[in-house]
Amino acid sequence: MISGYNIVCFSPNRWQGMWRNRQQIMSRLARQNKVLYVEPAGYLRDTAAAVRAHGISMLHAAEMESPLPNLWVYRHPTFAPISGRSPFSDITFALRRYLLRRTLRQLGMDKPIMWIFQYHLGEMIGQLDEQLVIYHAVDEYSAYSDMNTPERQQRVRQMELDVIQRVDLVFVTSPALLASKSKLHPRVVLAPNGVDYELFANTRYNGERPPDMAHLSTPIIGYVGAINEKLDLNLLIYSARRHPDWSFVLVGPVLVTSQRPQLQTLQTLPNVHFLGQRPYQDLPRYMRACDVCTIPYQRNEWTRNISSLKLYEYLANGAPIIATDFPAAREFADLIHITTDKTSFDAALVQALQEASPAHRQQLRAEARQHTWEQRIADMSAAIERQLAVKQSTS
């Protein structure tokens, strides 16, 4: 792992939200480096709506907290939102830049490594006296479900290209992203997601179920993660109807928009249980209570490019895994069940319940042990050190 550096991370997610790869990576880098985790700034339209609804008292100055040693979470002031092409855009940007620079000085974080986790977060490139700039792509953003017109897709691709052309190093999480982004930058490194193995394989979760699952009939078919547009809800509807005596559990925030009818159908089934988002540290306990863990993704351009966090976490958990046929799942086809439609998904559930065994659990965990975050960060650190050496030799 790199050591002794200052890192300023621009994340599209709140620190206290669902833990994704940015929190995993930055929490570990903070063990040997100083990290400032910058949450996304608000937008003028949202700030204006909040002021109209709650009054000017909702505006606040920049805020900072330190949830971990050597890691600080920074929140931009709400009085300096991103304002696009409005007459205030230069002023609000200057305020955000000034306050962020001041914060870095107060923390003694000079010449940071800048780490950007999404295409729209590059406004500070060249503004913080950074010694290295990294762009970390975790998805093909132009394939998101809300990119429903060619114009929107092209706008996102252009925004991403503008950022990529200004950075020193690009990390991507999947082979598909490696292929596409390597056409845009000469230094693109594959860095798949990983697993907190010690947390998700911990045997202390072998005890009682969580209270909100204690009353459920078995077997329990589980999904743990964001309930969003990646999911093919029709698969779950089909199996839940075929097996009314089974319990289907979904743990995570509900973010579905385009599949509202399917979501409503699923929510009306008596053997389907939406438990909501749970704290990250509790997720292994929920997984351990499941007899089968599922990844019922749609097969499209979005999922073709992903590196599934939950797949590695499921492997460490050790329960049988059912996934649809997307590339990240295909890498583990000898250990998990790969399905192509609702009938094969349902058949795989039946088969997985029959095959579950301590020996299979150990196989899954042995595979997960090869994909820890510590290993991923060691690989990324090596790439960072190489690029820093190149920059120093040419400066």
Q: How far apart are CA 159 and CA 98, in angstroms?
A: 24
Checking if the pLDDT of 21 tops 90, the result is yes
Give CATH 3.40.50.2000 domain extents, the chain.
6-194+372-394, 197-370
User: In this predicted model, what pLDDT tens digit does every residue of 303-346 receive, in sequence order?
Assistant: 999 999 999 999 999 999 999 999 999 999 999 999 999 999 99
% pLDDT > 90, the chain: 79
Checking if the pLDDT of 73 tops 60, the result is yes
pTM: 0.92
Checking if the pLDDT of 51 tops 60, the result is no
CB atoms inside a 10 Å sphere around CB 222: 25
CB-CB contact of 336 with 356 (8 Å): no
Q: Which residue has the higher pLDDT, 376 or 79?
A: 376
Within the chain, residue ranges assigned H as helices are 21-29, 44-54, 89-106, 150-164, 175-181, 197-200, 233-242, 260-268, 283-288, 301-304, 309-317, 327-330, 342-355, 358-368, 373-394
- CATH code 3.40.50.2000 for 6-194+372-394: yes
pLDDT, mean of residues 102-129: 96
pLDDT, mean of residues 213-240: 95
- CATH code 3.40.50.40 for 197-370: no
